[in-house]
Amino acid sequence: MASTPRFKVYTADKEYVAAFKYPSDAAVLISALGDGATIRLGHTQVVWTEGHEHQPAAESYDFVAETIHARQMR
């Protein structure tokens, strides 16, 4: 049975727009949505905010995934 996608993407205006199983896939959309867009674990825990990180998501989707995985472990 398939699991529910855990990574939720919101616009800068806090509009829920998509869900993904993999954080690197969410990073692709975040890079297009721009500053203020977020990736959340579920609908509450923000694990990436575009424009407030060490580098933009478009520079490395793997970096986004690694950052999100590290933040999940807290």
Residue 21, domain member (yes or no) = yes
Per the structure, the complete domain to which residue 65 belongs is given by 7-72
Query: What pLDDT score was predicted for residue 39?
Result: 98
| Mean pLDDT split into 10-residue runs, the chain, 74 residues | 89 98 97 98 96 97 96 80
Residue 2, domain member (yes or no) = no
Number of domains comprising the chain: 1
Query: What pLDDT score was predicted for residue 30?
Result: 97
Residue 24, domain member (yes or no) = yes
Query: What pLDDT score was predicted for residue 3?
Result: 83
Query: What pLDDT score was predicted for residue 27?
Result: 98
Residue 29, domain member (yes or no) = yes
Residue 1, domain member (yes or no) = no
Query: What pLDDT score was predicted for residue 62?
Result: 97
Cα 4 to the center of its chain, rounded Å: 16
Residue 67, domain member (yes or no) = yes
Residue 19, domain member (yes or no) = yes
Query: What pLDDT score was predicted for residue 48?
Result: 98
